[in-house]
């Protein structure tokens, strides 16, 4: 999930300017949106896979694991299009019918998913979050206030899994109390008045145990085993998400005060550890653009290239 946390520093791709990499990722994604034949995006994907494997310094296993969501997503897209597109049927069973056009468009979309996916993985594996924001500030003229707000948010994101489990445990403790640990004053909405921290979950400023008067021990789940699993179910989940939101909003307010009190927003600014755009970055950009253009041109010359028209008209049939 947090690819950036593990960003390597030694690989060739990791030494390139983050803004340049992000721009290239955006450009290729945009171009890929207009490719609707199966061959062109597949070729681009294979080229991209090779490039990422060699330049991002990722272990083959990491790359393979990262592929799982894209493969599942791509498979879903392929199946839906195969079944839901009018055209020449190649297979039929009851109400289900697979069309040639559906297979073609579906395969194109699935290959696009893989292409963008593998490039995104390459970007995430080779880019440090802080370096990215510094580079966006310096090279892409992103405002200092936004840059540092996002950086603070990034830090918050890194802490979020821990925060999440803290809240879940806090809720689990309270789940053993009568009334689910809510304030037993008949208000119905214990989050409102009694504690202003959502569900009093911070732990540091609301540590009163067993507010409702009973010891905060959950009824044992099975004979004698103390039940330590947090409760599950959508209701519990909603409570945890909402508490996370409340705690984070409060934290954000404190963060904003801290940022302002340290003089953020004053001009002129200097940058610590500046990230220049070097000749090698331009070479990378030129290389990527040339390769993509060459693949598309070759595909057009061979007659395999298809644009968005493939969505509306039947695929060209081979003559004869």
Partner 1 sequence: MAAPHTPPATRRPGWAMADLVLMVVLGVVFGFAYWALVQAWNGLSILMGPAGDLAQHVLFGGWLLVAPIAVAIIRRPFAGIAAEVIASVVEVVFLGSPVGPTLMIAAAIQGAGSELPFALTRYRRFGWAVFAVAGLLGAGLVFFYSAFRSGWYGQEIFALRLAVQCLSGIVLGGLLAKVVVDALARTGVVDNFAIGRQRDRS
Residues numbered 247-286 forming contacts with partner 1, rule: CB under 8 A: 248-253, 255-257, 259-260, 264-267
Taking CB under 8 A as the rule, does residue 41 contact partner 1?
A: no
**Between 22 and 172, whose beta carbon lies closer to partner 1?**
22
* CB contact at 8 A, 67 and 23: no
**Between 181 and 198, whose beta carbon lies closer to partner 1?**
198
Contact with partner 1 (CB under 8 A): which of 109, 285, 295, 315? 109
Contact with partner 1 (CB under 8 A): which of 184, 242, 296, 298? 242
Q: Cα(16)–Cα(126) distance, rounded to whole angstroms?
A: 9
**Between 26 and 293, whose beta carbon lies closer to partner 1?**
26
Taking CB under 8 A as the rule, does residue 73 contact partner 1?
A: yes
Taking CB under 8 A as the rule, does residue 25 contact partner 1?
A: yes
Contact with partner 1 (CB under 8 A): which of 54, 59, 69, 307? 69
Pick the closest to residue 56 from 116, 117, 109, 8 (CA basis).
8
* CB contact at 8 A, 18 and 132: yes
Tokens of 10: 């030694």
Contact with partner 1 (CB under 8 A): which of 65, 89, 297, 311? 311
**Residue 313 beta carbon to partner 1: minimum distance, rounded to whole angstroms:** 8
**Residue 292 beta carbon to partner 1: minimum distance, rounded to whole angstroms:** 14
Taking CB under 8 A as the rule, does residue 51 contact partner 1?
A: no
* CB contact at 8 A, 114 and 71: yes
**Between 85 and 137, whose beta carbon lies closer to partner 1?**
85
Q: Cα(248)–Cα(256) distance, rounded to whole angstroms?
A: 12
Outline where the chain has alpha helix (H): 18-32, 39-55, 60-84, 100-126, 129-139, 144-175, 234-261, 279-302
Give the distance from CA 267 to its chain's centroid: 34
Buried b (16+ CB within 10 A) or exposed e, 245-280: ebbbeeeeeebeeebeeeebeeeeeeeeeebeeeee
Taking CB under 8 A as the rule, does residue 44 contact partner 1?
A: no
**Residue 109 beta carbon to partner 1: minimum distance, rounded to whole angstroms:** 5
Contact with partner 1 (CB under 8 A): which of 47, 53, 130, 152? 152
Taking CB under 8 A as the rule, does residue 140 contact partner 1?
A: no
Q: Cα(125)–Cα(242) distance, rounded to whole angstroms?
A: 31
**Residue 33 beta carbon to partner 1: minimum distance, rounded to whole angstroms:** 6
Q: Cα(97)–Cα(274) distance, rounded to whole angstroms?
A: 58
Q: What residues numbered 156-175 form the site for partner 1, per CB under 8 A?
A: 156-157, 160, 164
**Residue 157 beta carbon to partner 1: minimum distance, rounded to whole angstroms:** 5
Residue 91, beta-bridge partner list: 98
Tokens of 307: 């644009």
**Residue 316 beta carbon to partner 1: minimum distance, rounded to whole angstroms:** 15
Q: Of 52-60, 186-194, 213-221, 288-296, which segment contacts partner 1 by CB under 8 A?
A: 186-194
Binding string, 112-131, against partner 1, x = CB under 8 A?
-x--xx-xxx--x----x--
Q: What residues numbered 189-208 form the site for partner 1, per CB under 8 A?
A: 189, 191-192, 196-198
Taking CB under 8 A as the rule, does residue 315 contact partner 1?
A: no
Tokens of 218: 């959950």
Q: Give the three-state DSSP class for 96.
A: strand
Q: Cα(32)–Cα(34) distance, rounded to whole angstroms?
A: 5
């Amino acid at each position: 999930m947090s690819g950036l946390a593990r960003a390597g520093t030694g690989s060739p791709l990791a030494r390139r300017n983050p803004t340049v990499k992000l721009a290239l990722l955006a450009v290729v994604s945009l171009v890929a949106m207009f490719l609707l034949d199966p061959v062109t995006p597949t070729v681009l994907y294979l080229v991209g896979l090779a490039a990422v494997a060699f330049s991002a310094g990722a272990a083959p296993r990491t790359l393979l694991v990262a592929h799982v969501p894209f493969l599942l997503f791509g498979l879903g897209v392929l199946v839906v299009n195969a079944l839901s597109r009018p055209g020449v049927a190649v297979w039929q069973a009851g109400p289900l019918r697979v069309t040639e056009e559906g297979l073609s468009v579906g395969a194109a979309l699935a290959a696009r998913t893989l292409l963008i996916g593998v490039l995104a993985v390459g970007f995430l594996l080779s880019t440090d979050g802080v370096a990215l924001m510094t580079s966006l500030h310096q090279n892409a003229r992103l405002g200092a206030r936004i840059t540092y707000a996002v950086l603070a948010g990034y830090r918050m994101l890194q802490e979020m899994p821990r925060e999440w489990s803290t809240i879940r445990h806090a809720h689990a403790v309270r789940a053993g109390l009568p009334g689910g640990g809510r304030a037993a004053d008949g208000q119905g909405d214990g989050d409102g008045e009694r504690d202003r921290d959502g569900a009093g979950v911070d732990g540091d400023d609301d540590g009163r145990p067993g507010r409702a008067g009973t010891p905060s021990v959950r009824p044992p789940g099975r004979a004698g085993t103390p039940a330590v699993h947090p409760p599950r179910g959508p209701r519990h989940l909603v409570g945890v998400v909402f508490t996370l939101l409340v705690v984070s909003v409060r934290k954000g307010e404190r963060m904003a005060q801290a940022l302002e009190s340290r003089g953020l927003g004053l001009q002129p600014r200097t940058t610590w550890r500046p990230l220049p755009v070097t000749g090698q970055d331009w070479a990378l950009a030129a290389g990527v653009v040339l390769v993509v253009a060459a693949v598309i041109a070759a595909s057009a010359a061979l007659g395999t290239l298809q644009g968005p028209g493939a969505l509306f008209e039947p695929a060209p049939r081979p003559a004869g």
